[in-house]
Amino acid sequence: MALAWIAAALAATVAATAEPRCPTDPVASAVTQPYPVATEGGARWGRISYPYSLPLADHELALTFDDGPSLENTPTVLAILRKHCIKAAFFLVGVEVKQAPALAREIAAEGHILGVHSQTHPEDIAGLPPAQGLAEIDDSIDTLAAAMASAPPQDRARQARFFRFPKLIESPLLLDHLKAINYASMSVDLTADDWTEITGPEIRTRALDRIEERKRGVLLLHDWSTPMVSILDDLIATLEARGYHFVQLVEAPRNGATSAQP
The residue (of 85 and 184) whose beta carbon lies closer to Zn ion is 184
First to last CA, the chain: 48
- Of 13 and 120, nearer to Zn ion (C-beta) is 120
Other CB atoms within 10 A of residue 193 CB = 15
Q: Please, what is the minimum distance in Å from the beta carbon of residue 63 to Zn ion?
A: 15
Question: Residues 112, 116, 120, 124: is their CA dihedral positive or negative?
Answer: negative
The footprint of Zn ion on this chain (CB under 5 A) covers a number of residues equal to 2
Strands 216-222 and 44-45: unpaired
| Cα four-point dihedral sign 5, 6, 7, 10 | positive
Is position 223 an interface residue for Zn ion (rule: CB under 5 A)? Answer: no
To the nearest 10°, report the CA torsion of 220, 222, 228, 230.
130
Q: For the CB of residue 117, give the shortest distance to Zn ion in the complex, in Å.
A: 5
User: Does residue 155 interact with Zn ion by CB under 5 A?
Assistant: no
Nearest CA among 106, 164, 168, 117 for reference residue 140: 117
The nearest distance, CB 195 to Zn ion, in angstroms, is 7
Q: Residue 194 interacts with Zn ion (CB under 5 A)?
A: no
Q: Is 136 in the site for Zn ion (CB under 5 A)?
A: no
Residue 96 interacts with Zn ion (CB under 5 A)? no
**Site mask for Zn ion (CB under 5 A), range 53-82, x = bound:** -------------xx---------------
CB 244 within 8 A of CB 61: yes
Q: How far is the CB of 49 from Zn ion (least distance, A)?
A: 13
User: Closer CB to Zn ion, residue 79 or residue 93?
Assistant: 93
Q: Give the binding site for Zn ion (CB under 5 A).
A: 66-67
